[in-house]
Amino acid sequence: NFCDDDGSLPTVELDQLNPESVGKLYRFIRERGHCVSESPTVWDDKEQSDVPLMSLGDPCAWLHQGRIDSFHCCFGGISKGDTSIPDLGIFVFKDCVQIDFRMGREWNPTNVDAFFRLLADLKALAPEARIKSAESEGLMDEASFLRALRLYSGEDGRTIA
């Protein structure tokens, strides 16, 4: 159920990623949307200062070099075909990418379909990814979510090698 906003941020996790795939997934989202977070920054361990996230050409390279830690940014304007997907939060770690979203009235069957097609695209970009509910704030009904996702990818996110 995407339509009832209970205040949570259900989160889908693509884990078991190699560094190249982490970068591919982040760039895929960034190229298809625009940052809607208010001035997101990351801490640059080398310079000991905050750096605007969107000023970094390749923040995933900095992440894997240990120059910055994991980072989060919300993206809007992402669409699949002619269908706009509500804002998505992207949390990038060294070996996984988490996608969170706010449930509510802006979701409908058409953009839920577009969201699942986006997830299938991300899985195709990173075939080693295992898709699951994030441990921090996961999905309300992970089993149903993964069953639905299987219709788009033909695979169960939990058992993908």
Q: What's the confidence (pLDDT) of residue 43? A: 96
Task: Mark residue 149 as left, alpha or beta (left: phi above 0; alpha: psi -120 to 50; beta: remaining).
Answer: alpha
* Cβ count within 10 A of residue 79: 13
Distance (Å, whole) CA 12 – CA 140: 11
Q: What's the confidence (pLDDT) of residue 52? A: 96
**Is 13 strand, coil or helix?**
strand
Q: What one-character DSSP code corresponds to residue 8?
A: -
One-letter amino acid of 56: L
Distance (Å, whole) CA 125 – CA 121: 6
- Cβ atoms of 75 and 90 within 8 Å: the answer is yes
> For 67-71, what is the mean pLDDT?
96
Which pTM value belongs to this model?
Answer: 0.89
User: Has residue 156 got a pLDDT over 80?
Assistant: no
- Cβ atoms of 16 and 59 within 8 Å: the answer is no
Distance (Å, whole) CA 24 – CA 12: 17
User: Has residue 101 got a pLDDT over 50?
Assistant: yes
Q: What are phi and psi of 127, to 5 degrees?
A: -60, -25
